[in-house]
């Protein structure tokens, strides 16, 4: 690579599979194979004594050592009560995910001969503050400089826009991965990607289709052997059925029928699963995605977008034929399958490439070292503008092709998938959440709103920062989740009804900062919302040093 530009890698940290990509000198996003020569790596961690095994081998080991193998970690990202215990040590989801990230980076380093230091990691658009922060921390534990967390559908749209450029197109990105479903409306132009609206379900993915097959197999076992034993209580059988279910699901994407054998307690039976039956037992899951899509379309309509040009399918689970079939039936147009396993990592890599070029240009502008450019005239230009106005000069300066430079021009505008507010009391003295930022608002966004103290001589204002999914300005407390708190100390002797201004600032990657000001004597408090459910402080330092000393296979 050109040694003056720092490479920024794109990582798709998936529920079931993960992958890593970079942009080559010609501007092409390339997924790097792992040590097993596969382009996607199962996001599965096997604790094998003092070492850790990640990927296909870990997945295979889940049969033999079900208690030492952890899968579907992403579904627990940002949850404080998820703990995996091994040899009396507790591991949180961010630390477990850091092993997956390390494995990806390690193998990429071997294949490319270059160290992975800076990364862009993707997460579902649906992720809230806690889950996003946990994803970032996972990267930090793995030793990366996490440059940005971007949304998976946005990354897929970046890859799509780069692969099939068009003047203007409104697309629906239907993203069904292993554990999450995101539906996003995006306007793609030659040099911009603008997210209009997003929706989805954090807990709906290919894994749920697997679980339905597992439940069906249990039933068939019970019926055939005339027993009511819950065979899933046996961890070996549970793991075995999970693996067979996923395998059968994939076969049914190609064929109409698949044989499955179930072995448990010395008995072995054979079940034949037809695609028709599989579609029948999973119909309601598919319908849930249609309902989420319709809901999102209603919100888009309210924003003036009543139509779209194409449906793009990403995520491995969209390979199930019932998905395009049902979407065509509902929306009339034939959905397009777009690089379902790699689009997200590639889009993240293209985004990383843009950041890396901007960094490189910023340094060169500062030290006036871009050959062939009049530095007095470019000193006031941003790297973006320089790339736009002088692509050939930039290409010559950094040693990439002009095609690669043009690919970096994409500008991204995203929206927040959650609403954020504070707890207030209404005139009936009932606690409610007042949303300052409502979901599907473009980010970055900065909102200030005045609230009032309740009593004479109030000493403090206790601010409870809440996250929810409502589109309304006020929401019941029970429909919101507390993500942080702050205390504003007030000066003595204030009357009641004193205005307090609260500001919420949400950046492009979903990080929230709040400020509160008492306007009379200007006492103030600033809080970067520190999510309680994510490792921090000493626990984080320990996880980082543990990570460095562990060997990952
Ligand atoms: P992703 O998170 O995008 O890697 O998607 C992973 C999900 O896609 C898992 O649930 C896989 O079982 C599922 N998947 C991958 N390939 C296929 C296939 N050919 N047919 C059905 N599901 C698949």
Q: What is the pLDDT of residue 395?
A: 82
Residues 19 and 105 in one domain: yes
Task: Classify residue 173: in a domain, yes or no.
Answer: no
Residue 342, ligand 1, Cβ within 6 A: no
Q: Containing domain of residue 79, as a range? A: 8-166+339-350+537-544
Residues 19 and 120 in one domain: yes
Residues 37 and 112 in one domain: yes
CA-nearest residue for atom 7, ligand 1, is 178
Residues 263 and 251 in one domain: yes
Task: Classify residue 512: in a domain, yes or no.
Answer: yes
Q: What is the pLDDT of residue 477?
A: 94
Residues 153 and 213 in one domain: no
Longest dimension (CA), the chain: 85
pLDDT along the chain (553 residues), means of 10: 77 95 92 96 94 94 89 90 90 95 96 95 92 94 95 92 87 92 93 91 92 97 94 92 96 97 94 97 98 95 94 95 97 93 95 88 71 67 78 80 80 92 89 95 94 88 92 94 87 85 90 85 69 78 86 85
Q: Which two tokens stand for residue 248?
A: 């059968």
Residues 373 and 485 in one domain: no
Q: What is the pLDDT of residue 490?
A: 85
Residue 38, ligand 1, Cβ within 6 A: no
- Taking a C-beta distance cutoff of 8 angstroms, is the pair 38, 432 a contact? no
Residues 48 and 156 in one domain: yes
CATH of the domain at 64: 3.30.420.40
Q: What is the pLDDT of residue 460?
A: 87
Q: How many structural domains does the chain have?
A: 4
Task: Classify residue 400: in a domain, yes or no.
Answer: yes
Q: What is the pLDDT of residue 219?
A: 96
Q: How far is CA 347 from CA 18, 19, 157, 228, in A?
A: 14, 12, 7, 49
CA-nearest residue for atom 15, ligand 1, is 316
| Beta-carbon count within 10 A of 278 CB | 23
CATH of the domain at 489: 2.60.34.10
Task: Classify residue 110: in a domain, yes or no.
Answer: yes
Residue 246, ligand 1, Cβ within 6 A: yes
Residues 72 and 141 in one domain: yes
Task: Classify residue 195: in a domain, yes or no.
Answer: no
Q: How far is CA 478 from CA 432, 471, 504, 532, in A?
A: 9, 15, 21, 19
Residues 25 and 134 in one domain: yes
Residues 20 and 104 in one domain: yes
User: Is beta strand 336-337 parallel, antiparallel or unpaired with respect to 89-91?
Assistant: unpaired
Q: Which two tokens stand for residue 535?
A: 């490792």
CATH of the domain at 265: 3.90.640.10
Axis crossing angle, helix 93-112 with helix 129-141, rounded to the nearest 10: 50
Q: What is the pLDDT of residue 1?
A: 46
Task: Classify residue 26: in a domain, yes or no.
Answer: yes
Among 34, 218, 205, 223, which Cα is nearest to 116's? Answer: 34
Task: Classify residue 332: in a domain, yes or no.
Answer: no
CA-nearest residue for atom 4, ligand 1, is 17
Residue 253, ligand 1, Cβ within 6 A: yes
Q: Which of 173, 214, 249 to mutate to test the pocket of ligand 1 (most atoms within 8 A of CB)?
A: 249
Task: Say how many Å lie between the CA of residue 179 and the centre of ligand 1.
Answer: 10
Residues 520 and 422 in one domain: yes
The per-residue b/e assignment along 141-157, b for 16 or more CB within 10 angstroms, e otherwise, is: bbebebbbbbbbbbbbb
Task: Classify residue 117: in a domain, yes or no.
Answer: yes
Residues 24 and 95 in one domain: yes
Q: What is the pLDDT of residue 375?
A: 66
pTM above 0.85, yes or no: yes
């Amino acid at each position: 690579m050109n040694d003056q530009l720092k490479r920024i890698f794109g990582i798709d940290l998936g529920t079931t599979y993960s992958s890593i990509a970079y942009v080559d000198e010609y501007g092409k996003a390339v997924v790097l194979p792992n040590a097993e020569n596969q382009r996607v790596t199962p996001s599965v961690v096997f604790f094998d004594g003092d070492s850790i095994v990640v990927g296909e081998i870990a997945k295979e080991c889940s049969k033999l050592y079900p208690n030492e193998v952890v899968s579907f970690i992403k579904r627990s990202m940002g949850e404080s009560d998820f703990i995996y215990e091994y040899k009396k040590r507790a591991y949180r989801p961010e630390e477990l995910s850091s092993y997956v990230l390390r494995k990806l980076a390690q193998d990429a380093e071997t294949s490319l001969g270059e160290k992975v230091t800076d990364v862009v990691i993707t997460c579902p658009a649906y992720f809230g503050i806690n889950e996003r922060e946990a994803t970032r921390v996972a990267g930090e534990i793995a030793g990366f400089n996490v440059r940005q967390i971007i949304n998976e559908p946005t990354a897929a749209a970046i890859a799509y826009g780069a692969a099939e450029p068009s003047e203007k197109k409104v697309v629906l990105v239907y993203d069904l991965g292993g554990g999450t479903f995101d539906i996003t409306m995006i306007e793609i132009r030659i040099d911009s990607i603008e997210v209009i609206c997003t929706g989805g379900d954090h807990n709906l993915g290919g894994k749920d289709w697997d679980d339905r097959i597992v439940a069906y197999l249990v039933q068939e076992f019970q019926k055939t052997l005339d027993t009511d034993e819950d065979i899933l209580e046996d961890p070996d059988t549970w793991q075995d059925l999970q693996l067979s279910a996923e395998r059968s699901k994939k076969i049914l994407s190609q064929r109409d029928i698949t044989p499955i054998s179930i072995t448990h307690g010395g008995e072995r039976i054979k079940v034949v699963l037809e695609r028709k039956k599989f579609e029948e037992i999973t119909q309601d899951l598919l319908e849930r995605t249609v309902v989420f899509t319709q809901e999102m379309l209603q919100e888009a309509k309210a924003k003036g977008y009543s139509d779209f040009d194409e449906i793009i399918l990403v995520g491995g689970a969209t390979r199930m034929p019932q998905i395009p079939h049902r979407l065509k039936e509902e929306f009339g147009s034939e959905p397009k399958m777009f690089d379902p396993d790699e689009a997200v990592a590639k889009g993240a890599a293209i985004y990383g490439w843009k950041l890396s070029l901007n960094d490189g240009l910023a340094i060169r502008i500062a030290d006036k070292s871009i050959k062939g450019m009049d530095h007095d005239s470019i000193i006031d230009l941003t790297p973006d503008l320089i790339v736009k106005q002088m692509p050939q000069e930039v290409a010559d300066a950094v040693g990439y092709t002009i095609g690669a430079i043009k690919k970096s021009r994409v500008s991204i505008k995203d929206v927040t998938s959650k609403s954020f507010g504070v707890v207030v009391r209404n005139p009936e003295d009932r606690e409610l959440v007042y949303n300052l930022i409502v979901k599907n608002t473009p980010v970055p966004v900065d909102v200030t709103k005045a609230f009032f103290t309740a009593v004479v001589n109030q000493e403090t204002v206790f601010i409870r920062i809440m996250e929810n999914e409502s589109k309304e300005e006020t929401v019941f407390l029970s429909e919101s989740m507390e993500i942080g708190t702050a205390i504003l100390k007030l000066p003595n002797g204030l009357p009641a009804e004193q205005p307090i201004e609260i500001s919420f600032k949400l950046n492009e990657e979903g990080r929230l900062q709040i400020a509160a000001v008492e306007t009379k004597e200007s006492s103030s408090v600033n809080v970067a919302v520190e999510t309680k459910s994510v490792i921090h402080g000493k626990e984080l330092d320990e996880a980082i040093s543990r990570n460095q000393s562990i060997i990952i296979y």
